[in-house]
C-alpha cells in the first residue's frame, strides 16, 4: 500500500500574481502562501538574515532613501522591512537643522543631539553613529543583495516550477 504525503504533491505551475506580490511584501510569504512551508522559511531566513546582518554591520544608516537613493532601489524589494527601517531612520534618527530652513533632515553630527521637537541642537551626543567606509559599504552590500535575492524569490513564487516538492 502506498501513502501519499501532502508534502510530496507536486506544486501546480502557472502564473500566481498574488504569491509574487506577497513575496515582495515579506520574504518567504509567497512560498508560504503556496503551501511550501519549509521553502518559505528558508527563503525568509536567508534574505532577512542578509538584511539584518547588513543592519548589524552598517547600523540603521545602511538604509537611507534620502541620501543613498540608488541603493534604496536595490533594498526596496525586501518589502515592508526596508520601508519600515527607512521610516524609523528618517523620523527617529534625523533632525531638522535650524540654520538651514527647508533643507532635508540630517543626522546629528559629533557634539550635537536631537531634541524632543526633532530639531538638531548643539551639545550632547547624536542618537546614532554614522557608519563610514567599509563598514557602511558592507551594510549596504548585504541589504542590496537581500533585495535582489527577494526579486528572484518573488519571480519563483509567481511562476512556481512544476516538478518541485514541498
Contact residues for another protein, defined by CB under 8 A: 5, 7-8, 36, 38-39, 42-43, 45-47, 49-50, 52-53, 55-61, 93, 127-129, 131-136, 138-139, 141-142, 145-146, 149, 152-153, 156, 161, 163-166
> Left if phi > 0, otherwise alpha if psi is -120 to 50, otherwise beta: which for 118?
left
Between 58 and 79, CB nearer to another protein: 58
Least separation, in Å, of the C-beta of 136 and another protein? 7
* Residue among 69 and 163 whose Cβ is closer to another protein: 163
- Mention every residue, 6+ apart, whose C-beta is less than 8 A from residue 8: 165, 166
Distance CA 99, CA 121 (A): 10
How many whole angstroms separate alpha carbon 11 and alpha carbon 20? 15
What Cα–Cα distance (Å) separates residue 21 from each residue in 17, 65, 83? 6, 22, 15
CB of 43 to another protein, least distance (A): 5
CB of 108 to another protein, least distance (A): 13
**In angstroms, what is the minimal distance from the CB of 102 to another protein?**
28
What is the closest distance, in whole angstroms, from the C-beta atom of residue 99 to another protein in the complex? 26
d(CA 107, CA 94): 4
Residue 112 or residue 156: which is nearer to another protein going by CB? 156
The nearer residue to another protein, 16 or 136, going by C-beta atoms, is 136
Q: For residues 80 and 100, which CB has a smaller minimum distance to another protein in the complex? A: 80
DSSP state of 65: T
Amino acid at each position: 500500500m502506498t501513502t501519499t504525503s501532502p508534502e510530496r504533491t507536486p506544486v501546480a505551475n502557472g502564473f500566481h500574481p498574488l504569491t509574487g506580490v506577497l513575496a515582495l511584501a515579506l520574504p518567504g510569504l509567497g512560498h508560504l502562501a503556496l503551501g511550501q512551508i519549509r521553502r518559505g522559511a528558508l527563503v525568509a531566513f536567508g534574505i532577512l538574515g542578509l538584511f539584518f546582518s547588513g543592519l548589524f554591520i552598517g547600523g540603521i544608516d545602511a538604509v537611507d532613501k534620502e541620501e543613498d537613493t540608488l541603493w534604496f532601489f536595490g533594498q526596496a524589494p525586501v518589502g515592508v522591512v526596508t520601508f519600515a527601517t527607512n521610516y524609523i531612520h528618517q523620523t527617529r534618527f534625523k533632525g531638522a537643522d535650524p540654520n538651514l530652513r527647508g533643507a532635508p533632515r540630517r543626522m546629528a553630527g559629533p557634539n550635537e543631539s536631537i531634541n524632543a521637537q526633532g530639531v538638531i541642537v548643539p551639545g550632547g551626543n547624536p542618537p546614532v553613529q554614522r557608519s563610514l567606509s567599509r563598514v557602511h559599504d558592507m551594510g549596504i552590500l548585504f541589504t542590496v543583495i537581500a533585495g535582489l535575492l527577494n526579486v528572484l524569490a518573488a519571480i519563483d513564487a509567481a511562476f512556481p516550477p512544476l516538478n518541485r516538492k514541498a
